[in-house]
Amino acid sequence: MADSPYEARMLIGGARPPVDEDRAIDVHSPLTGARIAVISDASAGQVHDAVGAAQAAYDETWRTTNGAERAQLMHRFADLLDEHATAIGELESRDNGKLVRETTSQARFAARNYRFFAGLADKLHGRTIPLDQWETFDYTTRESVGVAALITAWNSPMQLLANKLAPALAAGCTTVVKPSEVAPLSTVYIAELLEEAGFPPGVVNIVTGGPAAGEALVTDPRLGRISFTGSVPVGQQIARLAAQNLTPVTLELGGKSANIVFEDADLDRAVVGAVAGIFAAGGQTCIAGSRLLVHESIAQEIEQRVSRRAGEIVLGDPTDAATNLGPVASKAQQDRITAMIAAARESGARLASGGGTPRPPGLADGYFVEPTVFADVPPDSQLANEEVFGPVLAMTTFADEQEAIRIANGTRFGLAAGIWTQDLSRAHRVARELVCGTVWVNTYRQSAAQAPFGGVKLSGYGRERGVEAIDEYLRTKNVLIDLSDEVRDPFQIKT
Ligand code: NAD
């Protein structure tokens, strides 16, 4: 494999150009550190060609397809994703280190999202609007924005792509997709499935590469929408670059979500929810419940129970059914997380569990981080305010509901929050006060194709999934028709 690595090729206008040796990027296994594939760092010219292919496909075929035709292709593609879910899950797991059962179920969830948006594709109608002027007939149409650039992060490539590609295709957009160079393989894999489903060449193009390829893409003036999932600094940079052409942007960025446990909660459920909220995906999820806010009267019990469960988590090969937690996705990510653990210790937070970088037997080169719990974390500390994107939980106590809300809203992020309580009024009251895009009550990390998802503040703007998501790929045109046979002389307007 080291001598002739698997070449994960781009898809540009139906062609699969070979990886240029001078522009090759190695893709590494987070489990062993070994090179498992090679991709191209797309040149500006290749990115330009991909947008050109998308524009041509839009003008020549896709723009005039009807919703039912688009839906049929999307359903076929969803069926193929389901058929290939195991293969995709295994590939993604080898690429980003997440548990194979999670990546496989994400591939199936992606299929569900294509089906959901296929159902919307033939229902994109405008309105007729009665005006003050009786003689004028007014209606709106909802038209696709044309070419959409879809840029994803490494943590959940198939799911993040479905959040964007499904509504974009349903709306009638053609697309240029750029997966993360850290975990591009599942996205490249679906190129063949798109072809098999029958999408015309150029409707979906896939370019691979790093920041330069991304910048070449987002500065292309032919784009009608950029949808980005990734970190805050890159999201901010994309918004700045997109401003040159005033290209609209959807930003799904980071989070520092609060999981709030009130004293009246069902503690068995709350403990499981807290542990799953941060450790289920190794904390490498934007919605990680990375802050656990606990009422002071139950803080000791929760800390003990959460720490004990964290200590029981089995680290290992993510494709092994006995494993609870795989390695983090890259060496850079492992280094970043361990640096944040060290800084938290220095800042006075109390380490309740974990904190190390273990080497499970036979996996000495894997990028592992122990599930880590810090208690007594001051709300103004780095650990309580910055995204770790790793298996590190920051516990903080509160005295009453108002303080819980204040701490929960006290970061610059606003992606999600969890509330654990058996008091119905409190659940609604607190949900209303939380400044974020998603609130879970007595559950955490649940997603559904129908439920809109997105952030506020530094967590970004725009919505994915749910009927709201399709609006990101449509624009409204208003048409006014004078039904009279009068000559309307602008110089004779009565006042
Ligand atoms: P990242 O910002 O480093 O990279 C994301 C993507 O942007 C990659 O495809 C990368 O190649 C590309 N990119 C990098 N620099 C670019 C530039 N200058 N111009 C254009 N494209 C550029 O993020 P990451 O490390 O891959 O992912 C982790 C981050 O993603 C975390 O902050 C996490 O919270 C966030 N995330 C958010 C959500 C959400 O839905 N809100 C979901 C998953 C991950």
Instruction: Give the residue-averaged pLDDT of 466-475.
Output: 98
What residues form DSSP beta bridges with 294? 261, 397
**Closest among 241, 260, 259, 261 to 251, alpha carbons compared:** 241
String of DSSP letters for 299-319: HHHHHHHHHHHHHHPPBS-TT
326 in helix, strand or coil?
coil
Question: What pLDDT, on the 0 to 100 scale, is given for residue 4?
Answer: 66
Beta-carbon contacts of 203 under 8 Å, excluding residues fewer than 6 positions away, are: 54, 57, 61, 62, 169, 174, 175, 194
Q: From CA 436, how far away is CA 185, in angstroms rounded?
A: 32
Q: From CA 257, how far away is CA 411, in angstroms rounded?
A: 9
Block residue for tokens 């918004």: 239
The residue whose CA is least distant from atom 31 of ligand 1 is 231
* Atom of ligand 1 lying closest to residue 215 CA: 19
Ligand 1 within 6 A of 153 CB? yes
Question: What pLDDT, on the 0 to 100 scale, is given for residue 487?
Answer: 87
Tokens linked to 179: 């997966």
pLDDT band at 3 (very low <50, low <70, confident <90, very high): low
Q: From CA 43, how far away is CA 210, in angstroms rounded?
A: 10
Q: What is the DSSP letter of 187?
A: H
pLDDT band at 5 (very low <50, low <70, confident <90, very high): confident
Residue 1, pLDDT above cutoff 50: no
Q: What would the pLDDT profile of 202-250 be if each residue is shown by its tens digit?
A: 999 999 999 999 999 999 999 999 999 999 999 999 999 999 999 999 9
Instruction: Give the residue-averaged pLDDT of 120-130.
Output: 97
Residue 357, pLDDT above cutoff 50: yes
pLDDT band at 365 (very low <50, low <70, confident <90, very high): confident
Residue 416, pLDDT above cutoff 80: yes
Q: What would the pLDDT profile of 261-305 be if each residue is shown by its tens digit?
A: 999 999 999 999 999 999 988 899 999 999 999 999 999 999 999
Ligand 1 within 6 A of 286 CB? yes
Question: What pLDDT, on the 0 to 100 scale, is given for residue 364?
Answer: 86
Q: From CA 95, how far away is CA 342, in angstroms rounded?
A: 27
Beta-carbon contacts of 460 under 8 Å, excluding residues fewer than 6 positions away, are: 235, 250, 251, 252, 253, 415, 454
Ligand 1 within 6 A of 294 CB? no
Q: What would the pLDDT profile of 80-109 be if each residue is shown by its tens digit?
A: 999 999 999 999 999 999 999 999 999 999
Instruction: Give the residue-averaged pLDDT of 120-133.
Output: 97
Question: What pLDDT, on the 0 to 100 scale, is given for residue 213?
Answer: 98
Asked which of 358-362, 386-390, 414-418 is least confident by mean pLDDT, the reply is 358-362
**Closest among 204, 112, 203, 238 to 163, alpha carbons compared:** 112
Ligand 1 centre and the CA of 180: distance in Å?
A: 7
What percentage of the chain carries pLDDT values higher than 70?
Answer: 99
Asked which of 63-77, 119-133, 354-368, 407-421 is least confident by mean pLDDT, the reply is 354-368
Topology annotation, domain 6-253+459-479: Aldehyde Dehydrogenase; Chain A, domain 1 (3.40.605)
Ligand 1 within 6 A of 389 CB? yes
Ligand 1 centre and the CA of 230: distance in Å?
A: 2
Instruction: Give the residue-averaged pLDDT of 343-369.
Output: 90
Asked if 173 contacts 145 with a C-beta cutoff of 8 angstroms, the reply is: yes
Q: What would the pLDDT profile of 417-449 be if each residue is shown by its tens digit?
A: 999 999 999 999 999 999 999 999 999 999 999
Ligand 1 within 6 A of 252 CB? yes
| Amino acid identity at 308 | R
**What does each C-alpha distance from 9 to 42, 83, 209, 287 come to in angstroms?**
10, 22, 11, 31
Residue 258, pLDDT above cutoff 80: yes
Residues of the chain with CATH 3.40.309.10: 258-441
Residue 361's Cβ-side half-sphere holds a number of Cα atoms within 13 Å equal to 1
- CATH class, domain 258-441, is alpha beta
Residue 287's Cβ-side half-sphere holds a number of Cα atoms within 13 Å equal to 22
261 in helix, strand or coil?
strand
Residue 136, pLDDT above cutoff 70: yes
Q: What would the pLDDT profile of 169-184 be if each residue is shown by its tens digit?
A: 999 999 999 999 999 9
Tokens linked to 309: 């469960």
Give the residue, 4 or 148, on which the prediction is more confident. 148
Mean pLDDT, rounded, of the chain: 95
Question: What pLDDT, on the 0 to 100 scale, is given for residue 2?
Answer: 44
Give the residue, 118 or 331, on which the prediction is more confident. 118
Burial class (CB in 10 A: 0-12, 13-18, 19+), 363: middle
Helix (H) or strand (E) holding 191: helix 185-197
Question: What pLDDT, on the 0 to 100 scale, is given for residue 202?
Answer: 98
Residues of the chain with CATH 3.40.605.10: 6-253+459-479
* Atom of ligand 1 lying closest to residue 181 CA: 11
Q: From CA 88, how far away is CA 188, in angstroms rounded?
A: 10
* Atom of ligand 1 lying closest to residue 218 CA: 20
Ligand 1 centre and the CA of 229: distance in Å?
A: 5
**Closest among 416, 156, 97, 98 to 273, alpha carbons compared:** 416
Ligand 1 within 6 A of 177 CB? no
Q: Note the pTM of the prediction, 2 decimals.
A: 0.95
Q: From CA 42, how far away is CA 62, in angstroms rounded?
A: 25
Question: What pLDDT, on the 0 to 100 scale, is given for residue 475?
Answer: 98
Instruction: Give the residue-averaged pLDDT of 363-375.
Output: 93
Q: What is the DSSP letter of 425?
A: H
